[in-house]
Chain A
């Protein structure tokens, strides 16, 4: 198979090969949009992996409350940002069930939105192979900003330079 044929096969998979991705345990991802006054995030958490994490904590609160206990942001100097879970919904990605949360991070007065520290261990505090993949989505092409895996729970975020 040459690379073109492999790519065509890959495209065919968009519609048909979802369960094959179960071959790789699903990861979380956080897609950031940098605004003037805040950073908006789409936070996607795979329900299968989240179940291990909530079971380990015997957590019973609503998802938004659980997320607020495990997801936060702060300035590089350690000042906390305000975090709001504005909504969440169930979604499916290649046959993995995800919880998709719309989250708004607001920095303290005077702090820029383009540089901060993201903290997230919603799943990684329990699932050792789990990754939180963080992307910037307001760039021309979604840019990978970094990833978190246990025991790391802090990721320094720097807004990509706009070209």
Chain B
């Protein structure tokens, strides 16, 4: 069983070699300071801005327009450059303030995921010398629009394997798109064991294994990545373009064919596993951001139209293993891919989209 750790260092010092760490509870349900409440997030952003130079503030603050909002990716920054305030460039005081913003917006689980995914990037940097941007410092923070308690704006925190996109005061609830992944899956740094996606991989594999005996749960086809992720446009001889959410808004499966098994066809125990899987993703943003969405996803009407499907190995032990929750709004995917730094191993990608409220419903074509 993985040990759960709360890395207490500020951003710039979070690398395990130089950070103090303290064990916290296994379930990772301890709320963070702000819990996603807009006023608390705004206050934390004001505290951060006070520590920044004019140039840094310019990096942090960008307009809330489509081109900025969709600029998240699952590729290293050497492939898809990010915009925003680079966390690796901050001094100690600025790092402390930036961490305050993350802590205000995220649950304890979400904050821990941010820490551990960044540490994983530094683990890759140590084993892969290519200049492709593996680096815990290559994570960025952006504020799109003007923080307000009434008008729409966004907070983005992300880098190679993480994209938090939170929209406040949007027409709809705004926790998504939320991409996360990890390579390596498990690792040790400075004597501490990490498994950043243990909660989500366990929840999804528990669900898939419980459903594997039901033919209706098996999805057709092969999955080599998440289905509704970023779009890379390859151009031989040149760098690809894109690698961001240029495909938004997306179409999703309709009807009842090849979407998996309906929630209503599951036993009470299996239904509990499905809700646990939903909550393993939804527990990452602060509760004020995510609670309305969980209520919507777990309403009787929504669950009656929610499908759960899997492909590959239900225990997620091999490449191509895939689990999906697909309802009237919810779209959660988990896929097992070959690792990149060592392709004999595996790595995870996971994606949470909301069919109605990605970007708070504020971004169009």
State A91–B234 Cα separation when bound (angstroms): 13
> Chain B interface: which of A8-16, A32-40, A58-66, A155-163?
A8-16
Is A6 close to B, CB under 8 A? Answer: yes
Q: Is the CB of B340 within 8 A of A22?
A: yes
Is B229 close to A, CB under 8 A? Answer: yes
Q: Which residues of A contact B131 (CB under 8 A)?
A: 9, 12-13, 16-17
Q: Is the interface of B mostly helix, strand, loop or mixed?
A: loop
| Cβ-neighbour of A49 out of B59, B82, B224 (below 8 A) | B224
Is B24 close to A, CB under 8 A? Answer: no
Given A14-B239, A17-B132, A93-B236, also A128-B222 (CB < 8 A)? yes
Q: Is the interface of A mostly helix, strand, loop or mixed?
A: mixed
Q: Is the CB of B59 within 8 A of A2?
A: yes
Q: Is the CB of A25 within 8 A of B224?
A: yes
- Total A residues in contact with B, Cβ cutoff 8 Å: 47
Contact residues on B (Cβ < 8 Å of other chain), bracket: 35 or more
Max count, chain A CB within 10 A of own CB: residue among B83, B234, B251: B234
Q: Is the CB of B227 within 8 A of A129?
A: yes
Q: Which residues of B contact A98 (CB under 8 A)?
A: 236
Q: Which residues of B contact A48 (CB under 8 A)?
A: 224
Q: Is the CB of A1 within 8 A of B340?
A: no
> Chain A interface: which of B73-81, B195-203, B263-271, B297-305?
B73-81
Is A19 close to B, CB under 8 A? Answer: yes
Chain A residues 120 to 163 lying within 8 A of chain B, measured CB to CB, are 126-131, 133, 135, 142, 144, 147, 149-152
Query: Shortest beta-carbon distance, A41 to chain B, in Å?
Result: 14
Q: Is the CB of B78 within 8 A of A9?
A: yes
Q: Which residues of A contact B79 (CB under 8 A)?
A: 10, 13, 17, 20-21, 23
| Cβ-neighbour of A24 out of B133, B227, B232, B343 (below 8 A) | B232
Is A75 close to B, CB under 8 A? Answer: no
State A17–B340 Cα separation when bound (angstroms): 11
Seen from chain B, the residues whose Cβ lies within 8 Å of a Cβ on chain A are 59, 74-79, 81-83, 86, 88-89, 130-133, 138, 219, 221-227, 229-236, 238-240, 243, 247, 251, 253, 311, 335, 337-338, 340, 343
Known contacts A3-B83, A23-B79, A93-B236; can you find 15 more A-B pairs with CB under 8 A?
A: A1-B81, A10-B239, A13-B79, A16-B132, A17-B76, A20-B76, A21-B232, A25-B224, A29-B233, A93-B234, A128-B223, A129-B227, A131-B231, A133-B231, A147-B247
5 contacts between A and B (CB under 8 A): A9-B81, A10-B239, A12-B131, A14-B238, A20-B132
Seen from chain A, the residues whose Cβ lies within 8 Å of a Cβ on chain B are 1-3, 6-7, 9-14, 16-17, 19-27, 29, 44, 48-49, 52, 56, 91, 93-94, 98, 126-131, 133, 135, 142, 144, 147, 149-152
